[in-house]
Structure 1
Amino acid sequence: MLGNFVTGASILAPAGMLPELSREFGVSIHETGLLITFGAIVLCIGSPVSAWLTSRFDRRILLSATVAIMAAAQFASMLAPSYATLMAVRLVMLAVAALFTPQAAGTAAMMVPPERRGSTMSYVFLGWSLALAVGLPLIAYVAHHIGWRVAYGGIGVIALLNLALLIWRIPAGLEGAPVHLRTWGELARNPLIMLLLLITVLQTSGQFAVFTYLGPLFGKLGGSSELAVIAFGIYGVMGFVGNVIASRVVDTWGAYRTSLTMMSLLLLGITMWTLGAGYVPAMLASMFVWGFSFASTNSMQQVRLAGAAPMFASATVSLNTSGLYIGQAIGSGIGGVFFAHELYYAIGYVGIVFLALALGSVILTRRAL
């Protein structure tokens, strides 16, 4: 869980410091946002490739090495002299970081009996919720009031702590089922898995069209980009609460019902943001609903994928992780174009369209799982 916190903070950090990075390196907000867009492209390719290449590795060694490289990359980012250097360090780091989330999920699935798999995997993914509940608001605050370099250094220190805990607590000799090339072909021929992956791409695209530029949007529509620190805090805390609740009810409700509920709330939250854009209380209120459902929606996707192919959880979760990053690239790319053309109010409607399609796709999976 702590490793997912480090991974989430590392991936999302630029979203909390876009204005500071823009001023530091003399590039536009749109160009700074490419740190997320290009990073997402690397992640979406790296996740399944790394799952294939490392399927036979000892999980303790694999997860520990991944976190060690992430820690080194944070300190290198802290010292970056230019935008190009920061981008290069980030892309190299993300090529390795793509390993962690799917392998952590696969490791958790192997360590518990089937009846506890759903709640355990949801717990592991709480790290991402914590990254948003605590990490991103803190990154945004430190970047604005102390300096973005200090924020990167802080992530590096936490990564070193995580490294020590992984070496200490993960059992040695833990290996999953080998992922062969034919595995990807079998998964690609599974209609349920393909539909679940499409849902992930759609819902992430809708969210990141807005989320990537949340700070600057509060500056343009709400009068102060500092309000984004509050928004990130609400979003993250509610995400943590929502994921905890989902992990408690999924074994009783079932993954489909829980997923449908959270996706519906996600669409409601984005709609509230869109209709309330320009009115600060409404914009902040939307964070409660949107935040409550964002992390649990993804956790349920992971649980449903693991249930569809339990022996290949690391492979299916890596594909889902790729779907997340494809969605991040699509959403942040579209949002960046709209932002560059000053179509600030229209960005929310992009989110509504994507999430409405995602909800419709969830309904199509009703009879499957």
Structure 2
Amino acid sequence: MSLIDVRPTDDPTPTGAVPVVLDDRPGLRFWVAVVALATGGFAIGTTEFVAMGLLPEISAGMGVSISQGGHLISLYALGVVVGAPLIAALGARLPRRGLLVGLIAAYGVLNLASAGATSFHLLGLLRFLDGLPHGAYFGLSALVAASMVPPHRRGFALAMVMMGIPLANVAGVPLVTLVGQHAGWRWAYVAVGALSLVTVVLVLLAVPATPGDRTATGRRELSGLRSPQLWLAVVAAGGGFGGMFALVTYVSPLTQDVGGLSESAVAVFLFALGLGMIVGNTVAGRLCDWSVENSLRLGSVGLALSLVAYFVLAPTGWWALLAAFAVTLTGSVLALGFQMRLIDAAGESQTLGAALSHSALNIGNGLGAWLGGVVIAMGYGLRAPLVVGAVLAVLGLGVIVLARVAARRAGDHAVL
């Protein structure tokens, strides 16, 4: 069953389920469900990115260096990478709404636990565990949203349900960053934990009782891992998208120590990063409905050029805002393109493909953060991660081209 297949009319709807009706123009039911799902995305996005804005405070509070503190971001990303395929395989048969509720509830509890962490190692463990539900939640949200629109609007549907992340960067991250800077970083995790638990109620009230795939098995879902195109997409996403996180992870020290701006300016830069994501996500939906392949190429080239521009503008202070906006705009186009490519490449393993897209993107998250920390620790300066990021974007583009050539030779029409 493909991502946007509709059950035949003789397939009975399970008791208590709300029938999914496809309409070229999404109706009220679609938008209400998207708001509920995007609220969870808002909570997850706030958690994921606020750690970058509060990296100096968290590191100081735990008694470690900034480069060591960056490993918390990598551990969270590792949790996403591990959790997405695991939960996809084990939960493919489960009712999607129920699984969504369980995932976001666990996310909220683990954030509250992170707020009370008493050591750096315990915090690292909790950040890893908190990453486990991340990819599966977004993957299931994408499947639910895409099932409510016709095939040619699925890029739009995915873009809308993913809008919680850029909105988090515009509103949630700057606000929670300011709270964390003035009241203590632990309150950031408290706020997100509470919002996650609110999402539980919203999903129960607003999301249709979409059944799981009754024919799915763990073996069938994992069979998608045999697809060469899937692995090429994972490598391309992990490398290419890592370019964006080479900047985002270290935006706080870049703003203050390289740009010479005050601590309060970090929130402004985080706002610019989030605004770029909103614009990029909106553009990406239309671009991917037009051509996933061209979206990936445009996103890769644009991201590399934007990171080079940030490298040049970083010492000028406020002028670097323009480059920050461009980095996340192009990175968002790249991210949505990779999500759609992975869903297509997974074939019948749709739950795996949708969830694994976030594993792949968070490989980039962890890789960009880790390599950025490495070059800083080697003494190349705080701007060095930007060079690393540009190289990663170019390498990702190379894998995209390689995958295209391989698909043509193999006659793989799913990704052509």
With structure 2 as the length reference, what TM-score do the two structures score?
A: 0.82
The answer on 1:47 being equivalent to 2:84 is yes
The answer on 1:360 being equivalent to 2:398 is yes
For the Cα contact (< 8 Å) 2:79–2:130, is it kept in 1?
A: no
> Which residue of 284, 288, 291 corresponds with 2:321?
284
Distance (whole Å) between structure 2 residues aligned to residue 333 and residue 249 of structure 1:
31
For the Cα contact (< 8 Å) 1:302–1:320, is it kept in 2?
A: yes
For the Cα contact (< 8 Å) 1:30–1:340, is it kept in 2?
A: yes
How far is 1:232 from its partner?
Answer: 1.1
> Which residue of 245, 249, 256 corresponds with 1:208?
245
* Equivalent residue number for residue 272 of structure 2: 234
Question: CA distance change for structure 1 residues 133 and 364 in 2, over 3 Å: closer, same or farther?
Answer: farther
How far is 1:326 from its partner?
Answer: 1.8
* Equivalent residue number for residue 73 of structure 1: 110
* Equivalent residue number for residue 125 of structure 1: 162
Aligned residue type for 2:387: Y
* Equivalent residue number for residue 378 of structure 2: 341
* Equivalent residue number for residue 259 of structure 2: 222
> Which residue of 286, 300, 303 corresponds with 1:263?
300
From the two aligned structures, give the one with the greater helix fraction.
1
More displaced stretch, 287-296 vs 58-67: 287-296
* Equivalent residue number for residue 69 of structure 2: 32
Question: CA distance change for structure 1 residues 308 and 222 in 2, over 3 Å: closer, same or farther?
Answer: same
How far is 1:264 from its partner?
Answer: 2.2
> Which residue of 363, 378, 396 corresponds with 1:326?
363
* Equivalent residue number for residue 34 of structure 2: none
How far is 1:40 from its partner?
Answer: 1.5
For the Cα contact (< 8 Å) 1:7–1:100, is it kept in 2?
A: no
How far is 1:95 from its partner?
Answer: 2.3
Distance (whole Å) between structure 2 residues aligned to residue 135 and residue 203 of structure 1:
26
Deviation digits for residues 81-135 of structure 1, max 9, x if unmatched?
3333322322222223342112222222333332222211121111222222222
Aligned residue type for 1:108: A
SS of the residue corresponding to residue 175 of structure 1 reads coil
Question: CA distance change for structure 1 residues 81 and 291 in 2, over 3 Å: closer, same or farther?
Answer: same
Distance (whole Å) between structure 2 residues aligned to residue 72 and residue 180 of structure 1:
27
Question: CA distance change for structure 1 residues 281 and 33 in 2, over 3 Å: closer, same or farther?
Answer: same
* Equivalent residue number for residue 243 of structure 1: 281
Deviation digits for residues 283-340 of structure 1, max 9, x if unmatched?
2221121121222221121123333446433211222222122222222111112222
* Equivalent residue number for residue 133 of structure 2: 96
SS of the residue corresponding to residue 277 of structure 1 reads helix
With structure 1 as the length reference, what TM-score do the two structures score?
A: 0.91
More displaced stretch, 118-127 vs 142-151: 142-151
SS of the residue corresponding to residue 9 of structure 1 reads helix
> Which residue of 55, 60, 65 corresponds with 2:97?
60
* Equivalent residue number for residue 229 of structure 2: 192
How far is 1:73 from its partner?
Answer: 2.0
* Equivalent residue number for residue 33 of structure 2: none
Distance (whole Å) between structure 2 residues aligned to residue 105 and residue 311 of structure 1:
15
SS of the residue corresponding to residue 199 of structure 2 reads helix
Question: CA distance change for structure 1 residues 20 and 133 in 2, over 3 Å: closer, same or farther?
Answer: same
Distance (whole Å) between structure 1 residues aligned to residue 70 and residue 133 of structure 2:
21
* Equivalent residue number for residue 172 of structure 2: 135
Distance (whole Å) between structure 1 residues aligned to residue 128 and residue 231 of structure 2:
27
For the Cα contact (< 8 Å) 2:75–2:127, is it kept in 1?
A: no
How far is 1:215 from its partner?
Answer: 0.7
Aligned residue type for 2:202: L
Distance (whole Å) between structure 1 residues aligned to residue 189 and residue 363 of structure 2:
24
**What are the equivalent positions in structure 2 for 1:300-315 lying under 5 Å apart?**
300-309=337-346, 311-315=348-352
User: Over aligned residues, Cα RMSD in angstroms?
Assistant: 2.2
Question: CA distance change for structure 1 residues 80 and 308 in 2, over 3 Å: closer, same or farther?
Answer: closer
Deviation digits for residues 256-281 of structure 1, max 9, x if unmatched?
22332222221221111123232224
* Equivalent residue number for residue 169 of structure 1: 206
Identity of aligned residues (%): 31
Aligned residue type for 1:228: V
How many residues in Structure 1 have an aligned counterpart in Structure 2?
367
Deviation digits for residues 193-249 of structure 1, max 9, x if unmatched?
222222211112222223212212222211236232211110111210121122234
Q: 5+ residue gaps in structure 1?
A: none
| Larger radius of gyration between Structure 1 and Structure 2 | 2
For the Cα contact (< 8 Å) 1:270–1:290, is it kept in 2?
A: yes
Distance (whole Å) between structure 2 residues aligned to residue 269 and residue 216 of structure 1:
19
SS of the residue corresponding to residue 118 of structure 2 reads coil
Distance (whole Å) between structure 2 residues aligned to residue 62 and residue 27 of structure 1:
37
SS of the residue corresponding to residue 22 of structure 1 reads helix
Distance (whole Å) between structure 2 residues aligned to residue 130 and residue 296 of structure 1:
15
Aligned residue type for 1:68: A
Q: 5+ residue gaps in structure 2?
A: 1-37, 409-414
